[in-house]
Amino acid sequence: MFFDEAKIYVKSGDGGDGCVAFRREKYVPFGGPSGGNGGRGGDVYLVVDRNLNTLIHFKKRVHFKAEKGGRGSGKNQQGKMGEDRLIPVPPGTAVYDADTGEFVADLMEDEQRVLVVRGGRGGRGNAAFASPTNQAPRLAEHGEPAQERWLRLELKLIADVGVIGVPNAGKSTLLSTVSAARPKIADYPFTTLQPNLGVVQVDGYRTFVMADVPGLIEGASEGAGLGHQFLRHVERTRLLIHLLDGAAPDPLQDYEAINAELGQFSARLAEKLQVVVLNKMDLPDAQAWWPLVQQAMEERGIEAHAISAVTGQGVQSLMRRALELLHSLPAVDLAPEAPAVFRPAEREDAFAVEREGDAWRVRGVRVERVAAMTPFVLPEAAARFQRQLRAMGVDQALIEAGVQPGDMVRIGDEELEWQA
């Protein structure tokens, strides 16, 4: 089976906790705070590996996590930095957020990488809080929590020419004739169950990559047949060879039906340059259809060729023409969407207060991060947290919402009792 879709879970590393410590050395009175900062958590990257050509390695492994940052320690020693996690993917992998459907990246070049979740920063130790007015701080921070998300990976093969057509039109036979690819070929519909790639050599030294996909039938864009699952693999091609079955009852009707399915699947795909090719010219039926096909294509302004993939008739001239057209066509826009960059959450200072059962819930990126990084067992850290809430306007928002002394207030995973 050809694995061209996968869903994976990625999680960065938590930041390491900061340390509360004081310098204790002989002959060094009042050494002062020496608690080091925690180490940064590891990031998670997707990295292109040209040696991969499917997503099958995600079949048995779905969860990927980076290393946590180390705790800070005395003598101003910073915690160890968490090791980044690199996840290899094949070239041609498009990445989307599985929950929102948002486009994340289009990975094409070997060793290209994209950051998908960022590691948490290390918590500060008490040495970082020392000031002229607070020379012996007894507070530190927990490390910033890790980020996590589900990603949907979609592989789109990279080829110059895509071969499309109805089942048994001879697509796999053509590919096996002009390249070293050896797809399964049999005399029954849907012999081809997965896309096949082959390198076509023209005149002994010029080459291009050609791909054939499982045969399309009417209704493919709505899920009928098999080819609809793999149409994405010809979206990246620059030229389409529309192969018509010369032995079919009506090749022209097949041509119209397939083009209608292409348009319903993707307007971009329907606009690609096509060369119409009538196959099986070794059969009398195909020879009878050729003048009609040729006339119909001339009326549409579309180039038409006649070949026999079995005997080789017209195949080499078709490949030469395909190469000529490729040289005249612009490079395909492989990443039409915005380049992959890591974007922090918008409006981190924004928050919302809402009723949650018999308690209150405060939601917001920054306020939840501050709560997660506060070690409430340290009185100075708890007092600092109160000052931060007041500065962000959370206190006032809770009062306006109707909070009363003794009410429970939840911020992230923390539960706090409101006191007047």
In the 8-state DSSP scheme, what is residue 374? -
pLDDT in tens, 211-235: 887 766 555 445 444 445 567 767 7
**Rounded to an integer, what distance in angstroms lies between the CA atom of residue 396 and that of residue 384?**
17
- How far from chain centre, in Å, is Cα 407? 43
pLDDT beyond 70 at 192: no
Which of the pair, 155 or 129, is modelled with greater confidence?
Answer: 129
Q: What is the mean pLDDT of residues 379-406?
A: 92
pLDDT in tens, 265-296: 777 778 889 999 999 999 999 999 999 999 99
Mean pLDDT of the chain: 85
Of 76-90, 108-122, 331-345, the range with the lowest mean pLDDT is 331-345
**Domains of the chain, start order:** 1-157 (2.70.210.12), 161-328 (3.40.50.300), 352-417 (3.30.300.350)
Give the list of residues 6+ apart from residue 268 with CB closer than 8 angstroms, or none: 235
Contacts of 219 by beta carbon, 8 Å cutoff, 6+ apart: 225, 261
- Looking at residue 183, its pLDDT comes to 54
In angstroms, what CA-CA distances link 38 with 12, 17, 72, 122, 191? Answer: 15, 5, 4, 4, 58
Residues 125-133 have a mean pLDDT of 93
Mean pLDDT of all residues in 56-61: 88
pLDDT digits over 95-106, tens only? 999 999 899 988
pLDDT digits 0-9 by tens, 151-181: 999 887 777 888 888 888 888 888 888 886 5
Q: Which residues pair with 153 in a beta bridge?
A: 6, 95
Amino acid 178: pLDDT:
85
Q: Does the pLDDT of residue 335 top 70, yes or no?
A: no
Q: How far apart are CA 266 and CA 250, in angstroms?
A: 25
Supply the Cα-derived Rg of the chain in whole angstroms: 31
- 284 touches 336 (CB < 8 A): no
Mean pLDDT on 67-71? 96
Of residues 346 and 60, more confidently modeled: 60
* pLDDT tens figures, 354-374: 999 899 999 999 999 999 999
% of residues, the chain, pLDDT over 70: 87
